[in-house]
Amino acid sequence: MPLPTAPFRYYNHASRAVHLDGCVEVEASYYGVPPGRVGQRVNVQWDTLNVRILDPNTGQLLREHRRAKRGYHRIHKDDRPKHTPPSTSKLLERTARAGAQIGEVAKQMHARDGETGNRRILGLLTLVKKYGAGAVDEACSTSLGFGHPTYGAVKRLLERKPSLHKQIKQIDPIIRGLSEYRDLINNLTEGETP
């Protein structure tokens, strides 16, 4: 008989628990399982190309995914929730209150990543605590302008741009307060008539 055209594939086998997000972890990547199995154990087979999730009782194939990069998720479109969960809606509202551009980046992240992006959306709120809402909103605006609205892009922009409060530290006694300049301008313009 002729040899097969593709090499024989060797699978690794293990039992995995389904996490609260409906995924199982394989080599630091996450793969979606059909709904209704949170907390249960499933059998998983994987090689360099695919991850197969099997029912532990029947051995029936539940889902097959292409391998994902470390830290990334693969979730079948049928396994995603049909409606945005209330907790995610509240999270998106919080980001919108922090700033219009922050809210827009969070909304685009959620549209692209679904529930798996919630951790990165929370990261945006952490950046607001660290750098201030104005700086984060400006960085979000820049990342939207570049067409790359991600948590990583916003964080890199903030780390590369020195914040305003670090730039203006020196106060000299020669520089007068703004109220004195305002009074001077008011006094000069009172005598003028248009």
Question: Does residue 167 register a pLDDT over 50?
Answer: no
Q: Residue 121 falls within a domain, yes or no?
A: yes
So what's the pLDDT on residue 14? 94
Sole residue written with tokens 């780390």: 159
How many domains does one find in the chain?
2
Domain that residue 31 falls in: 12-79
Q: Residue 175 falls within a domain, yes or no?
A: no
Question: Does residue 7 register a pLDDT over 80?
Answer: no
Q: Residue 191 falls within a domain, yes or no?
A: no
Q: Do 97 and 56 share a structural domain? A: no
Mean pLDDT of 18-28: 87
Q: Residue 28 falls within a domain, yes or no?
A: yes
CATH number of the domain residue 44 falls in: 2.40.50
Question: Does residue 164 register a pLDDT over 50?
Answer: no
Reported as a single tens digit per residue, the pLDDT across 84-110 is 667 778 888 999 999 999 999 999 988
Reported as a single tens digit per residue, the pLDDT across 169-190 is 445 667 777 777 778 888 888 7
